[in-house]
Amino acid sequence: MLMSRDKSVLLIVDVQARLAPYIHDGQQVAEHCAWLAQVAERIGVPVVVTEHFPEKIGGTLDLVREVTTNAQYVGKQCFSAQADGCLAGTAVDQRRQVIVCGTEAHVCVQQTALDLRWAGKEVFIVAEASGSRDPANRDLAFARMRSHGIEIVSREMVAFEWLQRGGTELFREVNRDFIR
């Protein structure tokens, strides 16, 4: 199955200030999340951002917050945003495909993705935009999610599938501003 901009929502999970310094390659993970958010905005895909106990873990990193001004932000207490109920009424509820990125891959990302999958959603995890403190935990989470029918993809796979075709003005803009 291909990701479609008309069916997709980008879900950025818990890229938060006090957790980010401990994530393996955390700066890159955050940069890739911001990149995805900007591409989603340009293409017209809605974005939802979760924050787990922001009063304790801090809010979303400025790098991500600055490019998600049109996103819907939701707070949560459960590791799984789906189990928490905070995604009700968001674009995640309204769209069939959920493109997920964030931290930690083996905790909040995985639990949210598995719950979304079992709720009937098509779920895609963006590999380079998802991280954990220990890369071994991230890799185990990817293997586990894959075994449950969740697709592990790259950010360029997301962008090109959302674009669907070359030769359009939108393709030229995204290619010029994000791909090259």
Structure confidence by residue, pLDDT tens digits, 67-103: 999 999 999 999 999 999 999 999 999 999 999 999 9
Task: Identify residue 16 by its one-letter amino acid code.
Answer: Q
What is the tens place of the pLDDT at every residue in 7-26? Answer: 999 999 999 999 999 999 99
Mean pLDDT of 44-58: 96
Mean pLDDT of 157-170: 95
Mean pLDDT of 112-141: 98
C-alpha distances in Å from residue 34, one per residue of 28, 37, 104, 176, 179 = 10, 5, 16, 17, 14
Instruction: Supply the mean pLDDT for the chain.
Output: 97
CATH superfamily of 8-179: Isochorismatase-like (3.40.50.850)
Domain ranges of the chain: 8-179
Mean pLDDT of 111-139: 98
Number of CB atoms found within 10 A of residue 88's CB: 10
Mean pLDDT of 129-135: 98
Number of CB atoms found within 10 A of residue 41's CB: 17
Is the full-model pTM beyond 0.85? yes
- What integer pLDDT is reported at residue 180 of this predicted model? 82
